[in-house]
């Protein structure tokens, strides 16, 4: 996992860099219809060798391969739903949320791992805002995965709190180390007159206790405010031998887990309505049909459009009508042959229907 992240970030830097250089990656890719080897130099594909002719729609063997693949998918689905019954509801879940929970694990590791190579690469490349978080990744393009991961920081940060040890890392005013809040927010008036807003917690601690410096003499009412501040800090003391720790609010032991992140419903809250996959997977359709529908709606079927995006050289023509390009929405919705099939079905079921623009609208209407 570490190696994959490092490789992705190195390629990203290489492709954006001004200095010439060479980077080779040998990639052995296996899809259900073919095996191929591709070579990337500086992130650009320079060609691929196909070990055998690719098989796809139009090829007499292809439907059989498709059925084989779907049989495999079918049994995977069956195992997954069996597991879900045994584990009481876990199993096939929202893949995107699952994926984001997994990516958040990186942010968690970032807060805790001191001397890991992958972290050094990331820090060197992006810089740090504080010991727990990198600078925002501003480049809108590139292949680095850290960009995607760091976008999840707001969700992560909202569920973290600090437990101060020796106070070497957190900033006294700016980090949320007191009651999960920053002193800047609790005492904005005092923050304005503090001597150094960048002070770390340990800078404000002596063996005699807290020692906070201000830029000028305090007024009477400010002295009262400082007394309140010291009262707030009353229960906290610095332990020189302990390290500062970042803890996770959503688990009892303060340790991040993918499961707790997923179960918190973090994503449903932030993202509003979700695609109705939950109901879809629960429906009574045969798993094979569900699998195929899922592929169509996610535009993951190997249409010519998708093959082209994968770098295959071809003249895009719909396999059925030979008139226009074989896009996902054309092949499954708008092609004149497909339309005949739809009309047949709609007539049989006496349904009035307006064909949606995209296949993704099929389930939501």
249, two tokens: 């609010």
Beta-carbon contacts of 74 under 8 Å, excluding residues fewer than 6 positions away, are: 286, 287, 288, 291
Least distance (Å) between residue 175 CB and Zn ion: 59
Q: Contact region for Zn ion (CB under 5 A) — 94-102, 143-151, 263-271, 334-342?
A: 334-342
320 binding Zn ion? (CB under 5 A): yes
Residue 247 touching Zn ion (CB under 5 A): no
CB 110 within 8 A of CB 118: no
CB 134 within 8 A of CB 128: yes
Residue (80 or 320) nearer to Zn ion, CB: 320
- How many residues line the site for Zn ion (CB under 5 A)? 4
* Of residues 287 and 320, the one with the C-beta less far from Zn ion: 320
Nearest-angstrom CA–CA distance, 104 and 351: 45
Rounded least distance, CB 304 to Zn ion, Å: 11
Residue identified by tokens 């990744």 is: 137
For residue 14, the Cα-to-chain-centroid distance in whole angstroms is 23
Structure tokens at 267: 């994503």
178 interacts with Zn ion by CB under 5 A: no
Asked whether position 355 contacts Zn ion by CB under 5 A, the answer is no
321 contributes a contact to Zn ion by CB under 5 A: yes
Contact pick of 302, 318, 333, 359 for Zn ion (by CB under 5 A): 318
User: Is residue 164 involved in binding Zn ion (CB under 5 A)?
Assistant: no
Piece of 34-42, 64-72, 97-105, 321-329 that binds Zn ion (CB under 5 A) = 321-329
Closer CB to Zn ion, 102 or 321, in the complex? 321
* Contact present, 261 and 107 (Cβ < 8 Å): no
Residue with tokens 């992958």: 118
Q: What is the dihedral of CA 227, 228, 229, 230, to 10 degrees?
A: 50
Of the pair 204, 335, the CB lying nearest Zn ion is at: 335
CB 101 within 8 A of CB 143: no
Decide if residue 160 touches Zn ion (CB under 5 A): no
Select 150 or 327, whichever has its Cβ closest to Zn ion: 327
Residue 121 in the binding site for Zn ion (CB under 5 A): no
Contact stretch for Zn ion (CB under 5 A) within 45-53, 151-159, 258-266, 328-336: 328-336
Minimum Å gap between C-beta 275 and Zn ion is: 26
Point out which span in 118-126, 204-212, 267-275, 315-323 binds Zn ion (CB under 5 A): 315-323
C-beta separation of 342 from 334 below 8 A: no
Select from 148-156, 238-246, 311-319, 352-360 the region that touches Zn ion (CB under 5 A): 311-319
What are the DSSP calls for 200-258, one per residue? BGGGGEETTEE---BSSPPPHHHHHHHHHHHHHHTT----TTSPPEEEETTSTTS---H
Contact call for residue 335 and Zn ion (CB under 5 A): yes
Check if the beta carbon of residue 287 is closer than 8 Å to that of residue 293: no
Using the contact rule CB under 5 A, the part of the chain among 137-145, 151-159, 269-277, 320-328 near Zn ion is 320-328
- Sites of contact with Zn ion (CB under 5 A): 318, 320-321, 335
């Amino acid at each position: 996992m570490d190696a994959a992240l490092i490789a992705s970030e190195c390629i990203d830097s290489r492709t954006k860099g001004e200095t010439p250089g060479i980077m080779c990656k040998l990639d052995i890719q296996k899809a259900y219809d073919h095996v191929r080897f591709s070579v990337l130099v500086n992130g650009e594909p320079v060609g691929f060798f196909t070990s055998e002719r690719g098989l796809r729609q139009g090829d007499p063997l292809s439907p059989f391969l498709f059925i084989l693949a779907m049989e495999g998918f079918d049994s995977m689905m069956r195992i997954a739903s069996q597991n879900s019954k045994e584990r009481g509801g876990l199993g096939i879940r929202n893949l995107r949320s699952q994926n984001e929970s997994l990516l958040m694990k990186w942010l968690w590791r970032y807060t805790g791992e001191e001397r890991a190579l992958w972290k050094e690469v990331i820090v060197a490349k992006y810089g740090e805002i504080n010991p727990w978080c990198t600078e925002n990744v501003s480049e809108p393009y590139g292949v680095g995965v850290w960009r995607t991961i760091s976008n999840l920081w707001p969700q992560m940060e909202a569920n973290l709190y600090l437990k101060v040890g020796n106070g070497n890392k957190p900033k006294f005013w700016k980090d949320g180390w007191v009651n999960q809040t920053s002193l800047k927010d609790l005492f904005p008036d005092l923050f304005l007159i503090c001597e150094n807003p960048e002070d770390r917690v340990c800078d404000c601690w002596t063996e005699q206790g807290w020692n906070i410096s201000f830029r000028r003499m305090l007024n009477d009412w400010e002295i009262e405010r400082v007394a309140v501040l010291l009262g707030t800090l009353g229960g906290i003391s610095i332990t020189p031998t302990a390290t500062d720790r970042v803890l996770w609010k959503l688990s009892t032991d303060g340790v991040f887990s993918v499961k707790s992140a997923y179960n918190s419903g973090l994503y449903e809250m932030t993202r509003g309505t979700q695609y109705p996959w939950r109901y879809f997977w629960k429906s009574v359709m045969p798993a094979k049909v569900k699998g195929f529908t899922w592929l169509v709606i996610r535009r993951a079927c190997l249409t010519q459009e998708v093959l082209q995006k994968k770098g295959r050289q071809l003249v895009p023509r719909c396999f059925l009508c030979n008139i226009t390009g074989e896009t996902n929405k054309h092949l499954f919705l708008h092609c004149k042959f497909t339309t005949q099939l739809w009309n047949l079905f709609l007539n049989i079921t006496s349904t009035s229907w307006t064909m949606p623009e995209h296949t993704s609208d099929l389930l939501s209407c």
